A and B are shown apart, each in its own frame.
Chain A
Amino acid sequence: MRVAFVSIIFCVAVVATSPVRAQPDYRLLNQSLTDGVVLPAYMGMANAMTDLVKTTQTFCTTPTSATLADAKGAYRTAMAAWQRAQPIAIGPVTLGGRVSRIQFWPDKRGTAARQIRRALKAQDPALVAAGGLRGRSVALQNLTAYERIIFDHGEKIASTSPAARDRYACALALAIARFQATLAAQIRDDWTKPGGFRDKVMTAADGNENFADAKEASTQFLKSLVGGLDAVILVKLSRPLGKSLDGARPKRAESWRSRHSLDNIRANLKTAQALYESPGGFGDLLTANGAGPLDDGLRKSFKEAVALAQTIDRPLYDAVTDPVARKQVETLREQLKDLHLLIAGPVASEVGLVAGFNAMDGD
């Protein structure tokens, strides 16, 4: 991961030397991506989290193998909904550590694992009481903690004679679901309420406390696109792949307990593709700027990446240690690297934006 980043160079932006071009329509791009990509993602997420609460409640009240299966299913739906929203790096989700509160991963140091273990052992009633997770470590609030409890302890909870400890684990899972439902609704409302973030984006051209101009908002959409691809390549694929077949690390895959890693990546790619291809989005800006062939190439490249992600026929957890499936995963990663570098480079330049730094820059 480090190696990929150190060999970067910068190249001179074309835009600075191309005064003949019309100013790209950033306002249209912002509106299109807000209404076409961002809002549907957060609405979907809020709904999925509400379902997660209901299903978890049923499971904790009547723990059976059937209600456990429902809880696992609701978790997968909730995670998929979040993964649709995950690349979006603009607005309310960027505040107050919300991204980590929704999903804390990777846990390189095992800090989150240790904190959850301790919490399950300590069984502090205050933690699972109403609002008890507020102000706590993200390790205890986020969806990965939910997954750990339901997928590692679910069978024990569902057994006919549940021990007190298992009841506590279920109560914590329910508290997490509730925390997530509240948070997802807040993020949705922070966008949609009058004077909310949607309004800020729409009025960016006039300048407001969030944006100096429309271009600044468009830059954040570009960062979302670039950073989203970056995360898939560096964290979601390269870490579990390791350097070779022998160095594969299945448990470094995201959501490995629910075997949902590839579904997460597919959801991320759908959103990245939508950020690029939405009417008035980056692709249309390119074509409007006379870079039609580059746009055609990118659309084709996105389509191929989505298809490649689809052809891998087993969970990432198993694919990284399978010689054949592993090749497919590596091919997908190469395809995404090309996409990433084209978007951060020529695409950004053509539409007059600089991707700049994102959270992946660093160690």
Chain B
Amino acid sequence: MRWLVVAAALSLAAPAQAADKNAVLKTYSDIALAIYEDSLTTARQMQTSINKFLKQPSAETQEAAKQAWLAARVPYQQSEVYRFGNTIVDDWEGKVNAWPLDEGLIDYVDASYGKDSEENSFYTANVIANPVLLVSGKKTDASVIDAKLIRSLHEIDDVEANVATGYHAVEFLLWGQDLNGTEPGAGARPWTDFARGKDCTGGNCQRRGEYLQAATSLLIADLEEMVANWKAGGAARKALEDGQPTQGLAVMLKGMGSLSYGELAGERMKLGLLLHDPEEEHDCFSDNTHNSHYFNQVGIRNVYLGRYKRISGDVVDGTSLSDLIKAKTPDLDTEMRGKLEAALGTLDVIRQSAENGKMSYDQMIGEGNASGNKMVQNAIDALLDQTKSIEKVIAALDIGSLEFEGSDSLDNPSAVFK
């Protein structure tokens, strides 16, 4: 096809520019490696805290475990911009950060949660309470709660809300359901849910602890896998190195645009605002959504600016998309940077408000809360605005329109018109 020929011709004709593009891609991969390493480091620290909590359950050790979970989310949320476009990340991501979840699959739930769901027959399967699961006439042995069991239950029945593993499963076990509606307050699971003997509340404390441990170690194993993918010779880094440089840039921009628009502005923010429902928030048990959104945007900015500040304070940086655009159309670079900062600003307003205890995210999306709704709407608008500039960057780099890899129509259009 003609456009493929053109692509090849362009890359031959402009070797100097191709070299710049490769440098941009290298920065992108280096940042990915640093982010996943930081995610792994903080997840291991979380595991240490969780082990202490399970060894000596108390309000204090529980709180320490919660704090460690919150810290682990900071680098991870910055990694999400790598999801869309990088096949390896996207195929893996569901195990680690799937959301929202029907938490009744895992543990006991409040009566307000309901008993059944049209979409999900495992809605209240409650693995922790049931050594044998009996769902739609089928028996599942759940006598031993380990990594293998919870892996097999993840997205069981092809239902995405059956989230048995990952950050949000751990979050639910540490915090419990947030039953405050759009009033202040996060989930308030008593530490005694993990106590031994007669102090145990909620039943099956031993199994609950086993679940928490299994989910945590699985999360670490998954993060280890992703770190390896971005090391020298790793599959994700190699996929970018082996492809056309322009294709690699397309992956970067696809990630930025998809997270900004469809995922963050759409699925995670607009939906909650339209439904005014407190459970429509990303970190709903811990009330940490404000940070989760904020660091998503920091991640988008990292990719464009080619700069990531590690948890240690060290900076990983290099040739960036911004450099590439600045050389071509300086005005667009200024515009893009401005939009990135503006969006971050609107998300920071939300973050500050929640962190200072003025108004939490689930309150902001509540019915009749005009000022809260407005804060969320402002962020949505800024994200949409930012996406338009990302589209301009795509156009400026001559990346053109989206296509499916190895499709019949690209390789052989006559096959489509048979």
Contacts and interface: CB of A to CB of B under 8 A. Distances in A.
Interface of A: 2-17, 97, 100-101, 104, 108-115, 117, 135-139, 242-243, 247, 249, 251-252, 294, 297, 300-301, 338, 341-342, 344-346, 348-349, 353-363
Contact of A17 (B6, B85, B409): B6
Interface size class of B (residues with CB under 8 A): 35 or more
Given A2-B91, A354-B391, 11 more contacts: A6-B85, A10-B399, A13-B401, A104-B274, A111-B279, A115-B275, A139-B277, A341-B403, A341-B407, A346-B409, A362-B258
B381 to A, nearest CB: 11
Contacts of B169: none
Given A137-B276, A341-B407, A349-B3, A10 B266 contact: no
Contacts of B6: 12, 14, 17
A97 B387 CA distance: 18
A359 B403 contact: no
Contact of B279 (A5, A8, A104, A109): A109
A151 B84 CA distance: 39
A12 B400 contact: yes
Interface in B379-394: 387, 390-391, 394
Given A9-B247, A14-B3, A363-B263, A252 B119 contact: yes
Contacts of B2: 14
B246 interface: yes
B410 interface: yes
Contact of B90 (A6, A97, A114, A115): A6
Contacts of B402: 8, 10, 344-345, 355
A199 B10 CA distance: 41
Contacts of A345: 3, 401-403, 409-410
Given A108-B119, A338-B408, A10 B261 contact: no
Contacts of A247: 158
Interface in B216-259: 243, 246-247, 250, 254, 257-259
B274 A115 contact: no
A10 B90 contact: no
A8 B254 contact: yes
Contacts of A297: 413, 416-417
A110 B118 contact: yes
B114 A338 contact: no
Contacts of A341: 403-404, 407, 409-410
Contact of B84 (A112, A138, A355, A362): A362
Contacts of B87: 6-7
A348 B399 CA distance: 13
B3 A12 contact: yes
B101 to A, nearest CB: 9
Contacts of A363: 262-263, 267
A110 B119 contact: yes
A361 B257 contact: yes
A129 to B, nearest CB: 16
